A and B are shown apart, each in its own frame.
Chain A
Amino acid sequence: MSAGVGVNLENLWIRFGDFVAVRDANVNINGGDFFSFLGPSGCGKTTILRAVSGFLEPSEGNVLIGGNNMKGIGPNKRPTALIFQNLALFPLMKVWENITFSMEIKGASAKERRKRADELLDMIALTGQGDKLPAELSGGQKQRVAIARALCAEPDVLLLDEPLSALDLKLRQHMRSELREIQKRVGITFIYITHDQGEALTMSDNVAVMRAGVIDQIGDGKTIYNDPNTAFAASFVGENNVFRGTVKKVIGNEVMVSTNRSGDLMARISSNNVGKMKEGDDAMLFIRPEAFALAPVGTQGDHFVTAQVTKEEFEGNVFNIFMEGEGGKEMKVSLPNLGQSFESHKGEPMTLEYDVHNAVALPAGVLATE
């Protein structure tokens, strides 16, 4: 595949009156990448996308597409195609007319358009449905028509604004792999917006985690999951158990945190924060549910946690055990189902151990609210 056209955001600020929707965003998106912006609703994802597609002029900073500054270039002159959150299919045009709208604009003949539409319909597995109206399609089919319509314009960059949010779970999962498949085939840059961390992690080469207009971290899925930059990223991406406390001792890349509830615990400092955490700082320690293992009840140590079991759940592949955690929030532990036998410990204390390498210490910060 060709290298594709990259997109760069340089010191991008977008304000609506006094309100800052995007604060000093710096992002380099490689050509041909599947890049996701991940963040809770209202954090400014759509705003960034609109700045890239040209519907919004940045208050400050630049948007570069393929190295060219897009300042003053309208949305109809940019090599981008946007898939809208509500799809925005033209309701009065047939499916094939919708798909080839960009060709009609350029004055292509109906025959050419029909031919191209048939090719694209084949690609999105809607062969022969070109004469239907959008209203006559199901949600997933509309979704694919919107993608075909955008691809028909042969953009260098495809922008997708939460395109799967309106679909049911099954279809959403199916469309994930389909989108990834399409992206690999056409080889153009995809910029994908979502508030669903599962989507972001499974599909993307790189993910930017956003919080209230600020980009907290950019990296591939593994990095973001295993080595978050901020407390927000740690708590927003995937499930995580938080232990609040203060830094007691820094030992190289590791730190001892005296937690409010579970005594002194050891953890690895997230790589972006090495050297930034000092004794006495407020800190947060994050341990994923799957990072725990059972230990003999009552074992003491800097990587053991003991708490009361409040609830037990069997999920098939894992056993979920919920224990009394911090601030009334439950602590979740997921033990893989390897055929072992489990007795109920409900109401009893239980001790867990973890590998220090799997616990991440971060400066205290805002957590994502579920």
Chain B
Amino acid sequence: MKNFSFMRLSIWFYLVIFFAYLLGPLVIMSITAFNSPGFPRAAPWECLTFEWFSALFQDERILNGIWNSVLVGTGTVILSVAMGLAGALMLTQIWPKLRATYYTIIIAPILVPGVVIGISTLVFWDRVNRMLGLDADSFLSSGLFLTIIGQSTFIASYCMLVLVARLQRYDNALTEAALDLGASHAQTFRKVLLPFMRPAIASAAVLAFLASFENYNTTTFTFGEYPTLTIELAQKVRYGITPAISALAFIIVLLTVFAALFNEAKIRRQELVAAARKTATVEELETGKFRLPGFLSSNTAAVLLVVVAMATIAVVGTATVYSPAQCIADVKETKRLETELRIQELLQRRADEAARRAAEEGEQSDQAPATDATPKPSNDSGFGNVFNPGTLQDGGTETPEEEPENSGSGGVFDPGNLQSN
């Protein structure tokens, strides 16, 4: 009995840790999107603000990146799903004997590093372009074309895996039945096989779009004049990030939640409808008296969906009227006071020290840097700091006593750090 409850406790503990690990970064990132400081951080909480969202929507490059990502994503979805379906059909129907070999070949692109795919795409199509005697700005060397082609080489393999899984559950007798009833092969494909594959095609399309949207490794070689969102973000981060990126992340998370809830609600609804139809009598079905269950009844996902939608609307509504100006002014004032206080302290300490040294050695040193430093509040959360090049830039001018706090891994990569040391 005791063991049992201990087991349960540890399972719960594990689950909490696991989900914290999975979702923690996203939650923190989302929170930073609503905090007013110019660098994304969740604590200390200063002022609730929506300005990062408007900053995001005014950032031409980000918007353009999103648009390019959508273009590339759409192209990749079309190409990969088509190629994936062809591959899956080939694998399950046409060459059952060569299955193993064929499978290995078609899976290979997943195993090849994205970087290699990017480079080889670039090299290969450049060759083709030259062989055809086309200009450097021909369609074949356009960033859009290359990125779609490059990403599709391996995304098509993902799609194929998804589609093969569904195809393996396909009963070939259905194809034969359709042929037997007089359908041509094309009609059989269109009216029987394709509808059967539809859910898998939808999954593959979503997967392909997401894989394309988040791809960086391959795209970085091929994007040309079509920088995607990931490319833009990567370039931006080089110059330091703002909570506008958190805002973007938040929007993406929210969209994901919406999509997941919507999907869940839809599946649940289909189940409910199927169950209701099964119990319905013939007369009910015939006379149209048959009532479908309400959309929200016993459908948790649907309820959650509505709640989240309402919350979003409420937040957007608030955002349009809410102004954090007063709060920001207050915080500024507090900060100023704090800073002044600390400067006083510092000066005092320095003066004391100077006096002590003078007394001991009779010698002056000017090792302490500028006195107009604005030290940060020392209760920064570890999280904010690690990813915070801005802090480090400040850090250069901070007092030595506060230095160790910032020497996380983030410091290693920060150019500002180098400058100041």
Q: CB within 8 Å of B: which residues of A?
A: 53, 55, 74-77, 80-82, 84, 86, 88-92, 101-102, 104-106, 127-129, 131-133, 136, 149-150, 153
Contact = CB atoms under 8 A, between A and B. Distances in A.
Contacts of A92: 195-196
Contacts of B179: 55, 74-76
B181 A128 contact: no
A129 B176 CA distance: 25
A132 B282 CA distance: 9
Contacts of B178: 90, 101
Interface of B: 171, 173-174, 176-184, 187, 191-192, 195-196, 274, 277-278, 282-283, 285-286
A76 B180 CA distance: 5
Given A75-B176, A84-B176, A86-B173, A101 B181 contact: yes
Contacts of B184: 76, 105
Contact of A90 (B174, B278, B283): B174
A80 B274 CA distance: 34
Given A102-B181, A104-B191, 5 more contacts: A55-B179, A74-B179, A88-B171, A88-B174, A133-B277
A308 to B, nearest CB: 52
Nearest to B177: A88
Contacts of B181: 76, 81, 101-102, 105, 149-150, 153
B168 to A, nearest CB: 15
Contacts of A86: 171, 173
Nearest to A101: B181
A105 B183 CA distance: 6
Nearest to A159: B180
25 contacts: A55-B176, A74-B179, A75-B176, A75-B179, A75-B180, A76-B179, A76-B183, A82-B177, A86-B171, A88-B174, A88-B177, A90-B174, A90-B177, A90-B178, A92-B196, A101-B178, A101-B191, A105-B187, A127-B282, A128-B282, A128-B283, A131-B285, A133-B274, A136-B278, A153-B181
A217 to B, nearest CB: 29
Nearest to A146: B177
A53 B179 CA distance: 10
Contacts of B177: 82, 84, 88-90
Secondary structure at chain B's binding surface: helix, strand, loop or mixed?
Answer: helix
Contacts of B283: 128
Nearest to B175: A88
B171, B177, B195: which has the most chain A beta carbons within 10 Å?
A: B177
B173, B283, B286: which has the most chain A beta carbons within 10 Å?
A: B173
The 10 residue pairs across chains A and B that have the minimum distance between CB atoms: A88-B173, A88-B177, A102-B181, A128-B286, A76-B179, A105-B183, A128-B282, A75-B179, A82-B180, A84-B173
B183 A128 contact: no
A80 B192 contact: no
Contacts, number: 73
B181, B277, B285: which has the most chain A beta carbons within 10 Å?
A: B181
Nearest to B181: A102
B172 to A, nearest CB: 9
Contact of B182 (A84, A88, A102, A136): A102
Contacts of B174: 88, 90-91
B1 to A, nearest CB: 45
Given A90-B174, A105-B187, A76 B285 contact: no
A136 B183 contact: no
B173 to A, nearest CB: 4
A89 B195 CA distance: 14
A106 B182 CA distance: 8
Contacts of A91: 174, 196
Contacts of A153: 181-182
A352 B135 CA distance: 103
Contacts of B187: 105
Contacts of B171: 86, 88
A53 B196 contact: no
B180 A81 contact: yes
A90 B192 contact: yes
A149 B184 CA distance: 17
Contacts of B285: 128-129, 131-132
A91 B192 CA distance: 9
A89 B176 CA distance: 11
Nearest to B187: A105
Contacts of B278: 136
A162 to B, nearest CB: 13
Contacts of B282: 127-129
A82 B176 CA distance: 9
Nearest to B278: A136
Contacts of A82: 176-177, 180
Contacts of B196: 91-92
Contacts of A76: 179-184
B39 to A, nearest CB: 53
A206 B317 CA distance: 81
B182, B183, B191, B286: which has the most chain A beta carbons within 10 Å?
A: B182
B284 to A, nearest CB: 10
Contacts of A89: 177
A320 B59 CA distance: 94
A86 B179 CA distance: 16
Contacts of B195: 92
Contacts of B191: 101, 104-105
B261 to A, nearest CB: 25
Nearest to B283: A128
B173 A136 contact: no
Contacts of A127: 282
B272 to A, nearest CB: 14
A129 B285 CA distance: 8
A102 B183 CA distance: 7
Nearest to A131: B285
Contacts of B183: 76, 101, 105
Nearest to A136: B278
B378 to A, nearest CB: 64
Contacts of B176: 55, 75, 82, 84, 88
A129 B278 CA distance: 11
